[in-house]
Amino acid sequence: MNTHAHYDHFFGNAVFADDGVTEFWAHANCAAAIERDADNQRRFVATNEPEMAAGEGDAVDIVVPNALVHDQPVLVDLGGVTATLFYLGRAHTDGDLLVGTSSTLFVGDLVEQGAHPSFEDSYPEEWADALRHISALRHRYEFLVPGHGKPASDEFVKTMADTMSTAVRQATQSIRDMPSDATKAIPVLPYGPEQSRWFIKRLQETNAQGRTSLATPDFGPEKTGFYPS
Ligand SMILES: [Zn+2]
């Protein structure tokens, strides 16, 4: 299952395919992005994985997910463990898929511990909403596993959401005050210079596109017992 279409989260698919895995899950937008853009992302691994970068060697094929999730959650039986794959709307990318088990929520790069969030393909305003949504699910899961770093607390997720909302307000104000040079806001934002630059760029681009309404997953009746209360 691929949480989103960034190379460090799906370049390993070919290894599983070589081992006989045939079912690769992802959100439909993620699969479309992998199909469209994966070869272009090979350059990011030129130093660490030259074979993958060149597309020559073992397990270097791009495997596009073939089992797709859209707005509705999907239950996958892993044999004694049921995983729920679900989408909370656009955030880190337009195709972030989360995985919940009876104990653990895997959130991909919606949450990053130990580094600034990556905004290159993001929808900053909607991302802050998605983080609040994750926090609202805190009683269902004992553990939250981010896309990078150590397991995170609900406090961490809430802080990340608040920081992002504050950054949205600050950057929106700067864009309004200095439309010709919104990059003046970079030193004010709570992220590194590079990520702040992306943050402002994506905020401008996504505001121009307009928002989509956040998908509200239907988890079904509680009595199914998939979640501890
Ligand atoms: Zn990512």
Q: E strand or H helix at 74, and its extent?
A: strand 74-77
pLDDT of 216 > 70? The answer is no
Q: In what order do the strands lie in the sheet with 104-106?
A: 74-77, 82-87, 97-100, 104-106, 143-145
- For the chain, the C-alpha Rg in angstroms (whole number) is 18
Quickly list DSSP for 13-26.
HHHHHHTT----EE
For the chain, the structural domain boundaries read 104-213
User: In this structure, which amino acid lies at residue 24?
Assistant: F
Q: How many Cβ atoms from other residues are within 10 Å of residue 163's Cβ?
A: 17
- pLDDT on residue 202: 94
Q: Which residues line ion ligand 1, judged by CB < 5 Å?
A: 6, 109
Sorting pLDDT into bands at 50, 70 and 90, what band is 153? very high
Q: How many Cβ atoms from other residues are within 10 Å of residue 78's Cβ?
A: 8
CA of 162 to the centre of ligand 1 (A): 20
CA of 109 to the centre of ligand 1 (A): 5
What is the average pLDDT across 77-94? 96
What gap in Å lies between CA 43 and CA 223, rounded to an integer? 48
CA of 203 to the centre of ligand 1 (A): 17
What is the average pLDDT across 191-216? 79
CA of 10 to the centre of ligand 1 (A): 10
pLDDT of 30 > 50? The answer is yes
pLDDT of 200 > 60? The answer is yes
